[in-house]
Structure 1
Amino acid sequence: MVGHRVWIMTFILLSVLGCTGPRTTAVPASNPQERTPVLGRLPATFSGDFPCADCPGIRYQLTLHPDHAFFLSLTYLERNSRFDSIGSWIVSPDGQRLVLYDESVSPDQFRIIDPNNLRKLGIDGHDIATGLNYTLTRANDVESPESHLALRGMYRYVADAGSFSECLTGRRWPVMQQADNASLEQTYVKFRKQPNDELLATVEGRVVTKSGADGATPHPMLIVDRFLGLWPGETCGARLATSTLENTYWKLTRLAGMPVIVPEQQREPAMVLHQEQHRLAGSGGCNRLMGEYRLDRRLVSFSQVAGTKMACRAGMEQEEHFIEALGRTAAWTVIGEHLELFDAEGKQLARFEARALR
């Protein structure tokens, strides 16, 4: 029970401290280099060593690109451990803060001191009250280290060549035919309905710079070190967009870590949480669903969830698991246009994608 309370309190803290206002859609730059009003010439790398509770320091290396993509590397000194991430950046409307959006619930934020210096802000978006160093300084050269990344993107395989369009940055890379690429390719061929279909894939991989087969100018390519999953019916969602929990049509895309497959001539499993009466309405795929919900910041619970009594040839077991998952739900989070539901221990029960209300 103590573990349950600790996990639930973590969600409450994220709710209280992680509110940074609505995301602002940025217009990507089309030029390979660009001078921005507050950040100066891009691309640029900013670096610095930040304090660490149990190590000599954490080396931050942040590279910003004109198309609003960023690459961030965190190296824990004397531990030989490094964590890489990728995402999109924007500048706040007042021009004072740099905001980094990745797959985290709360974005990293930096105060733009001048085009050469960025100071890290707290999770609440305010200055960290300390005399320790939290400043990144522009480096003389643009650093492009080989990054080891957890990636989510739209994959397709056409004419014996695979390509991967990364969700957070919109960048598309050719996929090299090595490492675990064969698993990704074979699973895609199994699930696609048309030869040119794009399907959402999750992988662990590296973005490397390689010359083409014809010896052309080197360009970025993706090496898939580990294929994680393919998710038919799910997309990236709009870049830098976000949806609200309530009054949004949520299409069910994953259930207990497995992709949701919609049988032919059936409705897609989905739900809408109607704010005015705290009422749940939706479909399990075969039957209409209805119920009630109670919301307390990052905590949510469903009650009296029931459905009509139709019998369908397929999808009944999936519908039962959907209703069961709602009954076990204790917390939620929305990242971009995707909703995730969790049980009291923090295990993901279901994942949804926002669609136009229907």
Structure 2
Amino acid sequence: MNCFKWAALGWAIVCAAAAQAGELQGQALYRERIALPDGAAFQAVLTATSGSTTTELGRAAADGADGPPYAFAITYDDSALVPGAHYSLRASVLVGGKPVFAADMALGLPAEEPVSLLMTAVPPAEAAGQQRLIAGMMRYMADAALLEDCADGLTYPIAMEGGYLALERAYLAAAPAAGEPLYVLLDGTIAPRPAMEGPDRDSAVVGAALAVWPGTDCAGQAHPADLAGTEWRIDSLKGQPVTAEEEGRSPQFQLRPDAGAYSATVGCNQIHGTYTAGAEGALTLAPGATTLMACPPPLDALERALAQVLEATRAYAIAGGTLVLRDQDGTAIAVMTAH
């Protein structure tokens, strides 16, 4: 809109107000042919992250039971746009207050064209706030921490609860400098938490800090390794680090898909057995033959821990080149990296 010097004062004020209002238009849909119940709600939320602060710029809502596509228009204040900020859009359909379909998008503002999001079904465990494996780039400065989730490219504040302090200590010990990004691996959730200002914000909630990897990033971990056929180096067992002994075997674990068998060692005896990998990350490891050398400390204790982990394994998860083994409660009991 053009405002001319000869415009009346009232008109000039209207022009100024209009010039400050930006609008993001778009639509969101899902492909499943599902009739949603009455009370279902659609919402699209636009946020900005700058430094350690995440701010909601605006949101739009609609009746979710009407079904897709959901058209929306979010009005925001142009003055809230900050050079270097990261802007994110989340579209979701809620039933009973819990997401059943959702999609996230990183974008630039102002957007030149309407955006389109394809929402996918939210797994029941994620909708219920259960933990999952999260890999991302963490930054910590000024008593605030942020996590860029490698899965969706979005940046979330990290809630200072649960396993946060252990993650912070690991970051401070390994980060090249304060405020620098560091690749981290954790069990946790993305869930609403109270914000300093405004409504609740989606935040990374740490259940357990699993590992930090200096020298890598999301791009370097973009392609998940295969469970079987990959040589996995054992990095930790039941939370205890595993390091290779001088002139000894490297601690490793490998599944051979052609034989349905596995082998594992912490650097002393070779443990062999068979495995069964099922749907949705299920994994069981049956014991087999084992060499019987006497292992010196600390390999003797590590080997006992390895045997316990193999027996207790019921599931696995992979993020990039990292494998996590879980017990029947979903607790991470081993962390390994692809080699």
TM-score scaled to structure 1, two decimals?
A: 0.48
Q: Which has the larger radius of gyration?
A: 2
Which structure has more RCO (C-alpha within 8 Å, separation ≥ 6)?
Answer: 1
Q: Specify which structure has the higher proportion of helix.
A: 2
TM-score scaled to structure 2, two decimals?
A: 0.50
